[in-house]
Amino acid sequence: MNEQAKCGLFTREGAQVPLQGVEVTGELLGGHARVRVTQRYRNDEKKPVEAIYVFPLPSDATLSAFSMTCAGRRVAGVVKEREAAFRAYDDAITEGHGAALLDQERANVFTAQVGNLLPGEETLVEVEFLQTLTAEEGSVRWMLPTLVAPRYIPGPVHGDRTGHGSAAPTTRVPDADRISPPTSLNVDYGLRMDLLIDVGRDVVVESPSHRLTVTKEGTRTRVKLQRDSLYRNFAGDEVELNRDVVLTMRNANPDVMLTPVVTHRKAEGPGTFALTVVPDLLNLATTPPRQEVVFVVDTSGSMAGDSLPQAQAALRLCLRHLREGDRFNVIAFENSFRTFSAQTVPFTQRTLEQADAWVAGLKAYGGTELLEPMVSAMKAAPDGVVVLLTDGQVGNESEILNAVLAARGTGRVFSFGIGTNVSDALLRDLARRTDGAVEFIHPGERIDEKVVAQFSRALAPRVTDLEVRFDGVEASELAPSTLPPLVDGTPWTLFGRYAQAGTGSVTLKGKSGREPFSLTVRLDLPALSDRPVVEKLWAAERIRGWMDAGLVGRRAEAMKERIVKLAIEHQLATQYTSFVVVEERQGDRRASGTPETRVVPVNAPAGWSMFNQAPGDVDDDEAEGGLADAMAPGRPGKMPAMRGMPQKKMAAPAAAVSRSRGGAVPPPPPSLSAPAPAPARDLGPEPTTGSSFHAELADGAGPAGGRAAPMERKEQESAKQKGGFLERLVSAAKPRKAAAPAAPSLQQHAPRAQEDKAEVRYEQEEVLPLSVAESSIPTEDVGSLLGQQLANGLWAGTGEGPEPVRQARATARVLLVLLREGITSSHPLHGAQVKKAVDALLALAAQLGQAPDVAELALGVAWLVAAGPRTRGRIEQAAKPLPGLGGRLEDTAALRQHMETLATR
């Protein structure tokens, strides 16, 4: 162990960094989370110092408390207007007292300044925040970011510095120096976590990001992190702060984690309520209208390593959720952007294959110039759907959000946050302001579940133009002020205030398409209730709505005053208010002079290849000295292309605050930087699977400059030669002993370095013993079989009968073959295609009235491969006209054996 590891973290100049570690404690309760982040500082120098630490919190968090503990004495912070808080902090430091200041830079970026840390003394700074938790299908996902990752900072340098970041202010990101902490490859402070989960009954807690220690305490569950043995300098249960902490909590009952109405009211003054409903709108479901969908995929340098393969896999699954008749396009962006086609094209078998090949050729390089491709996408589908796949690491979030809102009609943005350190603020704002949604995909998580969830929301029945009416009780100051739509199966929450206790109801009215909609919910508002978290969440939502108003001039100033007043009243940190705490000191504990500043560096993000390049991955101009040599002092021109930024815009990955600038990143390869898309080609008549379209791609060339990957070409050639493959699988099946399901293959997308860090447990249906013939097929044949799925989600069939009957029979047989291999709708890689087939069979069921045996086969197999309770509920409804099927749904073994028999007829 070297001397630096023994004595702590040092800056490049040799000064010690006082941050010793971070500890996360708290409770995840039925409706909300209350979490405390404690930062432990110790000054091992011989003089007082000031520590500055830029750290993240969830963008939907509401900061509720801030405190500092010195020499065993805890002092609570107070919220003041931002400049007033800074003056109080600065005056206290100048006068020799202890003080701490907490500023909000962005919705998910905060700066803690801790002044006059005394020699040999330990100081604890505690930040407490609240979050609303919602459950869907009985599952809750909770994520805690652990570092502020480097961001792409566009625009020329402009303005004076007010922070200590590695980047300078620019015309487009004037606070760049406040959101760019220095990055280090050797950060010795770590993270501990101790969370108590209490939802009234047992839950299953898992993590795709970290190893966990889970302890049951009755119906409560205590969760801690396990130390990674690779990091010997950390104690006990301490881990690196280099990737988000992700927890998932599952319960068999999807509604137990939601309380419909939660209130808070003291003996005097108004009360506050939070009403949550989970609308069941399946009875409103009709054939969804044809969609216009534009996919926008980030191929900047920040996506290098693990993130781009994740995005490519998610994008391929997204494509397979489109339906025949939908129109789509794909935009890939870095410093510039290029498109799959000059305009949106119909979703057909041929365009699906072309898009697959084009996506396979994407490479990660360059900066994150997100504004222009998002505006282009929104203009291409002003009333459609834009699907964004990115890590969100940009500095000009407000500029992008405003441009998207200006370009849209009624279009919605659905985002996938990809990677280990996603910046969620922009993605959540885009979802909230466009009535869209956001999902986060951490390495090791099931991609298909996220894709299914997103497209379920995009295509789900929804109620718009909502109005609220209260009967029997009076409510005011509702938040959000602009009511979001009700979306089937998605929790919807309304906050408000009430002056008098009472019992009544609230009615939500709106439109589902052109049809009127009304939902009435009972509302009990008590005279006394002790849930103060509700009041803070109401105030935070109220402030968020005011911030979204986008007012200018005198009205903007009046709105700012209103925000400051409400934030101070409820002690909330906002863009205009900060927490400050002052410890009055006397005698020897009172410092003299101005303390020197120590800026705390943050970890290099896990999975970002520019921080961990293999010898073969180093750029040509770095090969001489390697990564370590490129980062050495005095060689700024040899820095790697970190984050895909131009050299002058990137944060130097060093333990010290670096002002080094200069150097240039070579231009990206021509194939990735074409300024304009190639003209759309006449695609000609629709090919069938195995047509000459595969020969067109035999040399790797795809449409608009894309290239098919070698494996894809091999599979395409294989598909050409496998005529009648489905029929051979079904008819030539040989008896064999039932085998265990195939192991999930998503690990190929997870970071190699994390294989020992994250315990990802996949649950698969038990393979039941069968008394009928079944076949086992090689993995490559599974891929070929899935490759024959038609754009409508079905498989083509042969034999007698009308086409719906042939396709239903063929699809059911394919799903049975996949089931034998353990592939269901919950499979980590192929589940999305299975889910699409199930939905297609449900849509086709009404056309199978003249073939009841095929209808029974189709719905029975759909039940066997469907994982979600809502989907199975739809199958039950469709199966009611088939008396022979309904009774078998309760006995999986008997149902499966019956389906195998039907499939051979």
Nearest to 789 by CA among 495, 349, 399: 349
Across the range 539-555, mean pLDDT stands at: 88
- pLDDT exceeds cutoff 50 at 846: yes
Residue 646's identity, in one-letter code, is P
* Strands of 139-144's sheet in order across: 139-144, 245-250, 204-206
Across the range 667-682, mean pLDDT stands at: 31
- Is the bond preceding residue 480 a cis peptide, omega within 30 degrees? yes
- pLDDT exceeds cutoff 90 at 582: yes
| Residue tagged 């009648």 (tokens) | 724
Nearest to 870 by CA among 75, 241, 136: 136
pLDDT band at 284; cut points 50, 70, 90: low
pLDDT at 778: 54
Between CA 440 and CA 315 the distance in angstroms is: 14
Which tokens go with 847?
A: 């056309």
Find how far residue 485's CA is from the centre of its chain: 21
Between CA 592 and CA 681 the distance in angstroms is: 75
Buried b (16+ CB within 10 A) or exposed e, 485-520: bbbbbbbbbbbbbbeeeeeeebebebebeeeebebe
> DSSP readout, 452-480?
HHHHHHHHS-EEEEEEEEEESS--EEEES
Between CA 526 and CA 501 the distance in angstroms is: 5
Between CA 689 and CA 350 the distance in angstroms is: 9
* Strands of 515-525's sheet in order across: 486-487, 462-471, 502-512, 515-525
Q: Is 550 left (phi over 0), alpha (psi -120 to 50) or beta?
A: left
Between CA 857 and CA 47 the distance in angstroms is: 79
* Strands of 261-264's sheet in order across: 261-264, 271-277, 492-498, 476-479
Which tokens go with 392?
A: 């969100």
pLDDT tens-digit readout, 436-481? 988 888 877 767 667 767 777 777 788 989 999 999 999 999 999 8
> DSSP readout, 576-635?
SEEEEEEE---GGGS--SPPEEEEPPEEPPTTBGGGS--GGGS-GGGTTTHHHHHTSTT-
- pLDDT exceeds cutoff 90 at 193: yes
Q: If you average pLDDT over every residue of the chain, what do you get?
A: 76
Per the CB < 8 A criterion, the answer to whether 436 and 415 are in contact is yes
- pLDDT exceeds cutoff 60 at 694: no
pLDDT tens-digit readout, 209-252? 899 999 988 878 999 998 765 544 666 678 999 889 989 887 64
Between CA 708 and CA 353 the distance in angstroms is: 10
pLDDT tens-digit readout, 107-165? 899 999 999 999 999 999 999 999 887 665 557 788 899 999 898 899 999 999 999 99
pLDDT band at 337; cut points 50, 70, 90: very high
Nearest to 832 by CA among 340, 313, 414, 444: 313
- pLDDT exceeds cutoff 60 at 631: no
Nearest to 780 by CA among 859, 831, 722: 722
Per the CB < 8 A criterion, the answer to whether 103 and 110 are in contact is yes
pLDDT tens-digit readout, 49-71? 999 999 999 988 999 899 999 98
315-403-337 Cα angle (round to 5): 45
Strand partners, 142: 247
Based on its alpha-carbon atoms, the radius of gyration of the chain, rounded to whole angstroms, reads: 29
Per the CB < 8 A criterion, the answer to whether 310 and 902 are in contact is no
Which DSSP symbol is given to 885?
A: H
Listed in sequence order, the residues at least 6 apart from 340 whose beta carbon sits closer than 8 Å to its beta carbon are 329, 330, 331, 354, 355, 358, 677, 703, 704, 706
Which tokens go with 190?
A: 């770590």
Per the CB < 8 A criterion, the answer to whether 311 and 533 are in contact is no
3-state SS string over 22-38?
A: EEEEEEECCCEEEEEEE
Measured N-to-C along each axis, helices 447-459 and 307-319 cross at an angle, to the nearest 10 degrees, of: 40
Between CA 264 and CA 200 the distance in angstroms is: 20
Between CA 65 and CA 1 the distance in angstroms is: 39
Nearest to 653 by CA among 311, 6, 183: 183
Residues composing the chain: 905
Nearest to 389 by CA among 417, 358, 431, 423: 417
- pLDDT exceeds cutoff 50 at 747: no
Rounded to two decimals, what is the model's pTM? 0.65
Between CA 769 and CA 752 the distance in angstroms is: 36
Residue 407's identity, in one-letter code, is A
Between CA 239 and CA 525 the distance in angstroms is: 45
